[in-house]
Homo-oligomer: A and B are copies of this chain.
Amino acid sequence: MCRWLAYAGILIAMDTLLFQPCNSLIRQSLSAQRSVAPTNGDGFGLGWYGDIAKPGLYRDTMPAWSDANLRSLAEQIRSPLFFAHVRASTGTATSRLNCHPFRYGDWLFMHNGQIGGWPLVRQDVEGMIRKDLYRHREGSTDSEAFFYLALGNGLMEDPASAFALTVAQIVGKMRREGVTEPFRMTAACTDGKRLYAVRWSCDGRSPSLFWTQGHVDGCRDGRVCLEDGTDSVMVLSEPLDEDASHWNEVAEGSFLVAEGSRVTVSPFQPLG
């Protein structure tokens, strides 16, 4: 299991959310509160949009809490849309190539959860990835495979349908292999303009997911200063502070879209 955070809104320095809050993502790397694994020290990653369409990517295998480079980048870089992820491996190796987010063209994707029986269904799932996309696969995670399969399923044109089809395809493969372990996921993707997130599991026990909207005015004493407004949206595995009024749970089986100041949460179901 892992922990992640997605932000879209006014330009802010990334450390405002990644380092400063009392339950910041970096703090979660050492001791997450709502995660199956309290320690998320098997690498991390940062993806962000700047002056060009292609997002930046910084991933490494150290625990996020001890990487001086990450701290410096988060202090320096101001971005209107960024993804951050701290990893707790569910079996695959600690390697930059297995760290989220994954990037394809202008898109970023990150994921928390597990495809049950991944070793059993992996080869088949990989075989379904569109050939021209497959050459970009670098690691061995279920997460990266999901992304490339979804890209071939039209993620860039209709994300909700692509997610629904991709989950259905994988669940189908799991069924054919007789896998009894569950499929559980939270995931986010973006093209640098719209932010999409999904929470779904086959057994109603998805990893935690929250969202909020407001005007981010920095962070003080470990609390995010979230004022009235609609200019910023966060979707994240855990609340960043203890102010319960800020953080809304994303319900099981939901698909969230944030575009500008408009956030919609709709029911999500695998196709068919």
Contact = CB atoms under 8 A, between A and B. Distances in A.
Interface of A: 13, 30-31, 39, 41-42, 48, 50-52, 54, 56-63, 66-69, 72-73, 75-78, 89, 92-97, 119-120, 122-123, 126-127, 129, 131, 134-135, 137-140
Contact of A50 (B31, B60, B76, B92): B76
Given A56-B73, A73-B58, A140-B137, A63 B78 contact: no
Contact of A76 (B51, B63, B69, B123): B51
A41 B120 CA distance: 31
Nearest to A57: B72
B140 A122 contact: no
A97 B62 contact: no
A59 B62 CA distance: 14
Given A137-B140, A138-B140, A68 B52 contact: no
Task: Give the most central of A48, A62, A127: most B CB within 10 Å.
Answer: A62
A185 to B, nearest CB: 20
Contact of A97 (B60, B77, B93): B93
A265 B89 CA distance: 43
Contacts of A39: 30-31, 39, 41
A13 B51 CA distance: 9
A163 to B, nearest CB: 23
A48 B76 CA distance: 9
Contacts of A137: 140
Contacts of A131: 123
